[in-house]
Amino acid sequence: MRKFDPWPIFFRWEWSRNWPFLVGFVVTGTIITKMSLGFTEDDAKNSQFAQRHKN
């Protein structure tokens, strides 16, 4: 006799409830990654924010 496996049901419920958060997290991460990869050393030297937070 096969045992009942609750995981597929759990993941289906959680996906239907949390998909907007997960999609937003991916979109935001992609935007931040693309922006930060576009920065150069000159951008960091000229940035007032980077100069204030430099260790």
Distant-in-sequence, close-in-space partners of 50: CB < 8 Å, separation ≥ 6: 44
Give pLDDT tens digits for 1-55: 788 999 999 999 999 999 999 999 999 999 999 988 988 888 888 888 888 887 6
- pLDDT for 25: 97
pLDDT recorded at residue 14: 92
Residue 30 to residue 52: CA distance in whole angstroms:
26
Residue 55's pLDDT is what? 67
Residue 27 is predicted with a pLDDT of 98
**pTM as predicted:** 0.59
What does the pLDDT read at residue 26? Answer: 97
| Separation CA 54–CA 23 (nearest Å) | 32
